[in-house]
Amino acid sequence: ADLLKLYLYGYLNQVRSSRRLERECQRNVELMWLLGRLAPDHKTIANFRRHNGLALQRAGAGLVRFCQQTGVVKGH
């Protein structure tokens, strides 16, 4: 669950690199709070992405649908 939160945080804030996400976990107070001070290394983040690709695509699509339905995002 925490790695999914980290992935969605990166998606929303345009942080694509596993190494950058690792650094963000150590310096960004908002992310420290979100993850309960969990600070995974870049290899763990990369493995999570590699092993859960389809589920991450579905989670991202679900997030976009939710944002469209609530009026946060408009368009297609």
Taking CA atoms, 39 is separated from 1, 9, 24, 36, 73, in Å, by 14, 14, 9, 9, 30
Whether the CB-CB separation of 45 and 21 falls below 8 Å is answered with yes
Predicted pLDDT at 25: 93
Interval 19-34: pLDDT, tens: 999 999 999 999 999 9
Residue 7 has which token pair? 């992935």
Predicted pLDDT at 3: 94
Binned at pLDDT 50, 70 and 90, residue 53 comes out as very high
